[in-house]
Structure 1
């Protein structure tokens, strides 16, 4: 009997990690409350602590490497749109 693997949203992960940081409840209480393993809570908490500086890396809330990635993806979208338009016109003739 196998359970289907669940994918948690980033919002849920941050909510759980922040609750763990508060320290109001124990790991087992948080685990029961959110229905997840306490090891996941510890992992998400460590991840939040180690990568929290990336939020403040630029004025917009994104790290510079993420901004470069977004620009690269937008350029790729533009290129694919142009190719799609060209090919659709070629097929019409």
Structure 2
């Protein structure tokens, strides 16, 4: 049984770049690097899709939300759910409205 080949990210990038340049066909690249043409196509597609991340600002990472803020928001959600249920029950008792609870 053959052992799986683990290619380095540098190797994958080099092969994908050659595939993007289209100086050689996928079959020729496959023969040159001993990698299946479908695999080269997948690397090429992944390289094209992720190319925009190379031009994003490094300091423009999404904001990290603190655990305290998450807890605060969860408590607000819980409070709003309790209030909604209370008002739904009260309106049903006072007004005799028919229908489902929220």
Q: Which band: TM-score by shorter chain?
A: 0.5 to 0.7
Q: CA deviation at 1:13?
A: 0.4
Partner in structure 1 of residue 2 of structure 2: 3
Structure 1 unaligned blocks of 5 or more:
69-93
Please identify the structure whose Cα radius of gyration is greater: 2
TM-score, structure 2 normalization = 0.56
Correspondences of 1:40-79 after superposition (within 5 Å): 40-59=39-58, 64=61
Structure 2 unaligned blocks of 5 or more:
65-102
The 4+ residue runs of structure 1 with deviation greater than 4 A are: none
Q: Which has the higher helix share?
A: 1
RMSD over aligned CA atoms reads 1.9
Q: CA deviation at 1:50?
A: 0.4
CA distance in 2, matches of 1:64, 1:40: 31
Correspondences of 1:18-37 after superposition (within 5 Å): 18-37=17-36
- When the two structures are aligned, how many residues end up with a matched partner? 63
